[in-house]
Amino acid sequence: MLKLFIVSVAVTCIAGSGTAEPMKKCSGQERNTCLVDGDTIWLYGKKLRMAGYDTPEPQSQRCGGEKEVALARQATARVLELLNTKPWTVEYSGDVDNTGSRELITIHIEGRDLGDILIEERLARKWPDGDEFWCR
The structure's pTM equals 0.82
Total H helices, total E strands in the chain = 2, 9
pLDDT recorded at residue 10: 44
What is the distance of C-alpha 50 from the center of its chain?
Answer: 4
pLDDT recorded at residue 20: 63
Give, in words, the CATH class of 12-135: mainly beta
pLDDT recorded at residue 58: 75
What does the alpha-carbon distance between residue 134 and residue 72 come to, in Å, rounded to a whole number? 9
pLDDT recorded at residue 135: 79
pLDDT recorded at residue 53: 95
The domain ranges of the chain are 12-135
Say which amino acid occupies 39: D
Say which amino acid occupies 74: Q
Regions in the chain scoring below 70 on pLDDT: 1-20, 60-61, 64
